[in-house]
Amino acid sequence: MSDYPTRKLIIAIDGPAGAGKSTIASRLARKLGYQNLESGAMYRALALKAVENDISFDDEAALSDLAHKSRIKIEPTLGGNRVLLDGRDVTQRVRDADVSQAASRVSVHPQVREWMVARQRELGTSGGVVMEGRDIGTKVFPDAEVKVFLDADPVIREQRRIQQQVSKGASAESLAAELRERDRRDRTRANSPLAPAHDATVIDSTALTEDEVLRTVEALVEKKLQPNAPPKRNAG
Ligand code: DC
């Protein structure tokens, strides 16, 4: 589909956990030859560091200080994003349930978000990136050419998450409760709460296959790649 390879777009995919963002973002990025950057992995890496250093998830100043002293790297690979924390590979560990909750908790703090948003902008500024998260279309790249808000019925999202994670030994009930708790916090926090950007295309994936969602997003991208599509974002 990339008939117009010279334009390098920023594609923002936001939505709650379990809506299918990661799968769609990585498949789309592979097709376009773009980088796929999971912003949530950065919050997870910082949360892990807080866990390891016994820093309270409520201590904004200490968390911000920790962030400034951290090197968090997201390396896109064919098999997904590799997450490096101060040079250490923490890709698997950051997916554990305790780190998921901690990531949601550290992400409520404005000073933490400010640091994250600045890093994420550095990563995506030259385009050619599919970035997924909660605030990419609203805050990190409000001028992204393509903005998708991917949602799904909570019960379906819980089922998907249970299928992915239950093999790790967690119970279905605890996974569902964890997802509900995180959802509530991510949607109700004062700073950059999870919500669709006013110009995002909302896709409800409840009754759609992965391929159907991907085709819908691809159609949005194709439209923006037309030679006569008006540029939305300032170059560079
Ligand atoms: O996408 P994820 O489930 O890996 O994200 C983990 C947590 O990080 C999520 O519960 C809220 C936070 N997060 C955020 O606040 N903003 C983002 N852009 C991405 C994630």
pLDDT value of residue 3: 47
pLDDT of residue 76: 83
Domain locations in the chain as residue ranges: 10-221
Ligand 1 within 6 A of CB of 43: yes
- Please name the fold of domain 10-221: Rossmann fold (3.40.50)
pLDDT of residue 2: 46
Higher pLDDT, 162 or 98: 98
Mean pLDDT, the chain, rounded, equals 92
The structure's pTM equals 0.93
Ligand 1: distance of its center to the CA of 229 in Å? 31
Counting from 1 in the atom list of ligand 1, the atom nearest the Cα of 192 is 15
Ligand 1 atom nearest to CA at 21: 1
Question: Could you report the per-residue pLDDT of 151-195, keeping only the tens digit for each?
Answer: 999 999 999 888 877 667 778 888 899 899 999 999 999 999 999
Task: Report the 3 state secondary structure along the chain.
Answer: CCCCCCCCCEEEEECCCCCCHHHHHHHHHHHHCCEEEEHHHHHHHHHHHHHHCCCCCCCHHHHHHHHHCCCEEEEEECCEEEEEECCEECCCHHHCHHHHHHHHHHCCCHHHHHHHHHHHHHHHCCCCEEEEECCHHHHHCCCCCEEEEEECCHHHHHHHHHHHHHHHCCCHHHHHHHHHHHHHHHHHCCCCCCCCCCCCEEEECCCCCHHHHHHHHHHHHHHHHCCCCCCCCCCC
Does any ligand 1 atom lie closer than 6 A to the CB of residue 103?
yes
- pLDDT on residue 235: 43
- The pLDDT assigned to 180 comes to 93
Q: Is 158 in the pocket of ligand 1 (CB under 6 A)?
A: no
